[in-house]
């Protein structure tokens, strides 16, 4: 499927469609199993300088494998899209801090070229991080100390012993 973002912007059109998740090859490669399609709701338009803008949302629910416990967890995605589509890196450098630049080559682009980076940036580090059910979740430092059941020794205790020992030999 090919889209013409510049034409959509000239016509100030809204794009609403569902794209199979496997159309986003880099994103799909990270899934535990093939999931729901990606819902795209994006408005195209132009800014005062005539640049092509797209703003909207991507949404989907996908299943990922937790890096800690290896269990498969469902993750809901609601990704905000707010980008300026450009045809060169030089034009993108002019936008620093104004818009998120998206450089595409040519007048047409696939949904993956337009939206896959946004999906990848929204990936959770660990799907069940912080979840009480994950047996390998990271623990808070206080909890880790309590679980060890041991009191931490003063790291300078050995220096005190050496000092005391050195003082006695001089007497």
Looking at the 3D structure of the chain, how many domains does it have?
Answer: 2
Shared-domain flag, residues 65 and 113: yes
Tens of pLDDT along 67-89?
777 778 888 899 999 998 888 77
Number of neighbouring beta carbons within 10 Å of residue 6: 19
Tens of pLDDT along 107-151?
888 898 999 999 998 887 666 655 555 655 555 555 444 544 445
Shared-domain flag, residues 107 and 32: yes
Q: Is 110 part of a structural domain of the chain?
A: yes
Helices and strands counted in the chain (H then E) = 6, 5
Q: Is 129 part of a structural domain of the chain?
A: no
Question: By residue range, what is the domain housing residue 165?
Answer: 141-170
Shared-domain flag, residues 44 and 87: yes
What is the model's pLDDT at position 93?
74
pTM score, whole prediction: 0.69
Tens of pLDDT along 15-60?
999 999 999 999 999 888 888 999 999 999 998 888 899 999 999 9
Q: Could you give the C-alpha distances from 5 to 46, 97, 118, 153, in angstroms and in order?
A: 11, 22, 16, 64
């Amino acid at each position: 499927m090919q889209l013409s973002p510049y034409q959509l912007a000239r016509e100030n059109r809204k794009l609403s469609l569902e794209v199979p998740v496997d159309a986003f090859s880099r994103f799909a490669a990270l899934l535990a199993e093939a999931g729901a399609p990606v819902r795209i709701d994006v408005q195209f338009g132009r800014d005062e300088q005539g640049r092509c803008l797209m703003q909207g949302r991507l949404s989907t629910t996908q299943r990922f494998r937790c890096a800690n416990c290896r269990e498969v967890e469902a993750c809901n995605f609601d990704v905000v899209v707010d980008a300026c589509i450009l045809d060169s890196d030089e034009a993108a450098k002019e936008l620093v801090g104004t818009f998120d630049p998206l450089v595409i080559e040519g007048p047409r682009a696939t949904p993956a070229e337009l939206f896959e980076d946004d999906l990848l940036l929204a990936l959770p580090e660990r799907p069940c991080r912080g979840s009480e059910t994950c047996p390998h979740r990271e623990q808070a430092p206080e909890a880790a100390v309590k679980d060890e059941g041991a009191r931490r020794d003063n790291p300078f205790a050995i220096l005190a012993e050496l000092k005391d020992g050195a003082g006695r030999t001089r007497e």
